[in-house]
Structure 1
Amino acid sequence: MTQRAQGFWQWGSLCRIGLYVAALLCGVALWGIPALALPQGDAITDPRTLLRRALPISETKLLEVDEAISKIDADLKYNRWSAVRGDVRQVEHLLDRHGDSLLASLPPDRVTPASEQMAALREQLRVIGQASERKSKGKEEARAAYDRLVDELGSLENNWVGAFPYTVPAEYADKPQLLGRAEVELNTTAGRMVITLDGYSAPLTAGNFADLVQRGFYDGLTFDRVETFFLAQAGDPPGPADGYVDPATGKIRTIPMEIRAKGEVMPRYGQTFDQMGLWDVEPALPFSAEGTVAMARYPDDPNSASSQFFIFMAEPDLTPAGLNLMDGRYAVFGYVTEGTEVLRHIKVGDRILSARLISGQDNLKTGA
């Protein structure tokens, strides 16, 4: 195991202990319930919702619809059937109230697809409402309809995404950049996953990963660290180097720490949130979803990430955004959006058979 992996392993173990200790303490001190009982919490744990919230969209009416739809998820999770029906009615009301003005705000070529997507939203809302009348007997149908609803919502919101909203600092012009979104298909000996990369929140980190995927760097590499219910880590190449060696320089290519704060347009670079004194700031991409993907690094150097990455799989209710030991300390650049169940089967020694970009290739810009 390399020094980079060893250092991260030690810090990660402390993080894992901290997460569970915090959960136990919260169970006693905050909720007044037995320590081993988990609070339900209200952290956003759906990676699709987290990715939508990170889009550079300022249309408040659309965000209001998004917020209302997200409430359905929590109420379905805890079998609050009357609340689910109330949520459905609220979303339908918002679509009635804002639908025409939202469509009017779009360029002409986007109006028809957006109108069709709104109609698809209404259809899935109808299914959820009817299924919730049957309570637990209709839960599976309601959950399937909600998944379709969220997919349609993501497609709808993309109509309001314009040009990339900022310029990456010139000092990083030599690094690959992902100026938008992309998807990576990761085929492993444990199964297939799809990772959605978010270049809006982490253009350098996502760009570095996408560039290495395009180079075939990850093909054949093993998962050399797996901790059950915590994370799976890969990306350490064979040989003495513990990162990607750039053939142009003969040196390991590293990228700076890059974390975007929630509500801000562009990321902050070079330091962790702790180092910047941002104690109560949430990142745009938090560690609150199973399948969070982030870069490994040396514990004492926030700018040492190269090729090693990890996929977080801790219980989301233990890691609400801004209240865990990972947010603001590691650069998240995407989420597993298909095949999350594969994470429960990965073990040390499993290999990445292939990694390839299946969308967003045009958003990847190589370094100057």
Structure 2
Amino acid sequence: MTDALPLLQALVRLASVTPRSEGALDRVQEWLERAGFTCWRLPFQAPETAAVDNLFARLGTTAPHFCFAGHVDVVPPGDESRWTHPPFAAEICDGNLYGRGAVDMKGSVAAFCAAATDFAADHEAGFPGSISLLITGDEEGPSINGTVKVLEWMAANGHVPTVCLVGEPSSSERLGDTIKIGRRGSLNAKLTVYGVQGHAAYPHKADNPIPKLVRMLDALASEALDQGNDAFEPSTLAITGIDTGNPAANIIPDRVTAAFNVRFNSEYTRASLERWITDRCDRVRSAMGGEYRIEFSSNADSFVTQPGPLVDTVVAAVREATGLEPALTTGGGTSDARFIKNYCPVIEFGPVNQTIHQTDEHIPIVELEATRHIYRLILDRYFS
């Protein structure tokens, strides 16, 4: 049995805050090449972005092709003086390994590296298919030079997986209680309402855009987008900022801008959601006059992976290892699964997410080992 702990400690000790790798991919590559995997380093850099290093590794050349996907980049640790254990020391205390990325998601990377190399060692004579690992350094950042571009390279070079498991920390309270079978989409909007600047003492000589914006935001936020469906909870809209750019208390501004984000389910496409939003803004403009502009941006559509061999295999492995019946959910934020779903069925399974992105992020060592064990069971079941 291969122990995932040494690899996790080595990874946590490398301060690979997005977009820096700091040698983390070197450690993973060395681990996998010793087990017979062929590795490709795939650096990408779009214009006006930071360069990002990525790794793709594969054992075998035939189908079915099972892919593990994950990332070694981490969010900044914040004020390091507030950590009980230094964020990049990988210290062990009371059965827990502490450090930034211990759960999100170097723990899963170490666990599926250990599971995959274990499986390879037990099948030196070969097995019917292939295993690969897609490891990026751009998941916590803009997600431009990471998984998206690696997938394009994989498609161009004959490496499209049959199925994929992303090792995001999906579990809520206990390891195995939750599997993500999809994600909501995410749409950002910047709404600007225009008016005429003037003195606050003479509002009739100005055209104040703020009441119009407030009315538009009320129309958007007070109405339920939908009631959800069997796979998804209801869509949500959150106002995230309002700005007049106005430092003076006695000036009516000539414009005001608001930002909001919509997490939407499969009841909408991006296009239909944009129509829903602009329809309500148009109604306010018709009633109150004036002009507005709205800018949309999104790189995440909603998706759900339907029941089938991948879902069945992971559920059975979790049930065997933990005795739990995992909930199949689509909640939470976004992950790189939103890109992978364009190529093959994908789900997410990993450790408990209680301390991700927090001070004193940590993973119990028994949970790391249990995660490794479940990943190994998944491989055994998938290729049996």
- Report the TM-score range of the alignment, normalised by the length of the smaller protein: under 0.3
Q: TM-score, normalised by structure 2?
A: 0.23
Q: TM-score, normalised by structure 1?
A: 0.24
Higher strand share: 2
Higher helix share: 1
Greater Cα radius of gyration, structure 1 or 2 = 2
